[in-house]
Amino acid sequence: EAAPQQKRTAPTAPTYPMARTSPVDPPPALAELRSGRAASRVTLWDGSEVWLVTSHSGVRAVLGDRRFTAVTSAPGFPMLTRTSALVRANPKSASFIRMDDPDHSRLRSMLTRDFLARRAEELRPAVRELLDGILAQLVAGERPVDLVAGLAIPVPSRVITLLFGAGDDRREFIESRSAVLIDRGYTPDQVAAARDELDGYLRELVEDRLADPGGDLISRLVLDQVRPGNLTVGELVPMCRLLLVAGHGTTTSQASLSMLSLVTDPKLADALTEDPALLPKAVEELLRFHSIVQNGLARAAVADVQLDDVLIRAGEGVVLSLSAGNRDERVFPDPDRIDPHRDARRHLAFGHGMHQCLGQWLARVELEEILAAVLRWMPGAKLAVPFEELDFRHEVSSYGLGALPVTW
Ligand code: HEM
């Protein structure tokens, strides 16, 4: 008698991203995966299967390995969102975050000296002055105050317009267009339109500086790179767009969630009030804890790579979960607790390897100054609504808050 034919369907890989069960913690499913193999199969929104890496060591290994490409048109590259398909269709307007060497380092190196820790430090007094101006107005007004609209949105965008020497009058335009680029609620057409408008504005800014250079970052690039022929205007525009978009929503999200922790965790607020020298450490810990690039980073293998017990083949996509890596108990004991005394400097919130965040020192200065300003101007600040009513922004590529109403 013939054996009944066995139909074996392979268990389908879980859908990624998974759902959170607590608004300030990554999905618990990530912790389960982290205790398993070096990488696991997951299914993305478009039905494609990719590898997901959740351990601190695995994320670092892949991000530091040149056998993984950041070029979105590479075979197997994970399309984390619907709009990433748009980036893939427009390789010409790609910025260096989506390039490999030698192009990547040629373009990135033109900016290194503007984003050194020392340069960010030089901007600190201007950031503090900006914050004092904003806070003087906020505290003079009605309570509660929304710290997202009041601080988390305007500060990063004003710091970037300061760097670009752009007029404050175009800030609303810049904010609204870059919000479309990082929010998932928009269609690819809307994203393309916002990007074209932003590029049109940046091209004007670049042409203006070509005609009449000043002391700002774009002028320096025009004088040092465009005029000698190292950089074309067609390359400079996406570079400016990258700085604008990468430094904007991310800092807004991280500032919003850091302030949330400050106003909901009296131990944290007390520790920082007692010892302000703890601020840089606390900022690092909050970067680790919140890991706002919530769905992680995408790469594709260009060669076969053995990652511990998993063989990743050339042409396969890989997603690196920064939030899972940042809660890896092998590196950060008691990882789900915010401890401002912890040395969290090995966190992955800014990525790792050749693409590690260029603006990280600037982001640190902004975050430190924002928290210091809240402590200084609104001592004892607390939430003005129940925690359950907060509007966490799940749909945005950098996880954040819609509003943070506080009183003090
Ligand atoms: C790259 C996070 C603020 C500019 C990155 C990457 C991460 C990140 C994870 C790596 C992307 C990858 O490997 O694919 C953050 C977070 C921020 C922040 C969490 C705030 C808390 C900023 C700021 C700027 C900036 C303020 C500049 C004004 C950039 C640039 C890159 C980058 C230019 C691309 C670097 C490269 O490809 O070589 N950021 N970022 N970022 N970031 Fe940030």
In tens, the pLDDT along 291-301 reads 999 999 999 99
Q: In whole angstroms, how far apart are CA 300 and each of 67, 281, 289, 340?
A: 8, 34, 27, 36
Q: How many CB atoms lie within 10 A of CB 205?
A: 21
- Reported as a single tens digit per residue, the pLDDT across 97-152 is 999 999 999 999 999 999 999 999 999 999 999 999 999 999 999 999 999 999 99
Residue 12: CA count within 13 A, CB half-sphere: 7
pLDDT at 250 over 60: yes
Ligand 1 neighbour 178 (Cβ under 6 A): no
Looking at residues 67-85, what average pLDDT do you find? 89
Query: For 211-220, which contacts have Cβ atoms below 8 Å and span 24 or more sequence positions?
Result: 214/165, 215/165, 216/163, 216/164, 216/165, 217/114, 217/163, 217/164, 217/165, 217/243, 218/164, 218/165, 219/165, 220/114
What local confidence, expressed as pLDDT, does residue 88 receive? 65
Q: In whole angstroms, how far apart are CA 297 and each of 224, 282, 309, 323?
A: 32, 24, 21, 10
* Alpha carbon distance 195, 348 (integer Å): 28
Among 8-12, 172-176, 256-260, 294-298, which stretch is predicted with the lowest mean pLDDT?
8-12
| Per-residue pLDDT band at 185 (split at 50, 70, 90) | confident
What local confidence, expressed as pLDDT, does residue 93 receive? 76
Q: Which atom of ligand 1 is nearest to the CA of 97?
A: 37
pLDDT at 7 over 60: no
Q: Which of the pair, 93 or 206, is modelled with greater confidence?
A: 206
| Per-residue pLDDT band at 3 (split at 50, 70, 90) | very low
pLDDT at 324 over 90: yes
Ligand 1 neighbour 349 (Cβ under 6 A): yes
CB 259 within 8 A of CB 390: no
What local confidence, expressed as pLDDT, does residue 85 receive? 67
What local confidence, expressed as pLDDT, does residue 2 receive? 45
Average pLDDT score over the chain: 92
Residue type, 295: N
* Beta strands 145-146; 305-307: pairing state: unpaired
Ligand 1 neighbour 249 (Cβ under 6 A): no
- Reported as a single tens digit per residue, the pLDDT across 358-393 is 999 999 999 999 999 999 999 999 999 999 999 999
Looking at residues 34-46, what average pLDDT do you find? 95
Q: Which atom of ligand 1 is nearest to the CA of 70?
A: 14
Query: Sign of the CA dihedral 114, 116, 122, 128?
Result: positive
Query: Sign of the CA dihedral 382, 254, 120, 271?
Result: positive
CB 282 within 8 A of CB 57: no
* Alpha carbon distance 8, 357 (integer Å): 45
C-alpha 387 to ligand 1 mean position (Å): 29
CB 286 within 8 A of CB 260: no
pTM of the model: 0.95
Ligand 1 neighbour 123 (Cβ under 6 A): no
Q: Which atom of ligand 1 is nearest to the CA of 297?
A: 14
Ligand 1 neighbour 251 (Cβ under 6 A): yes
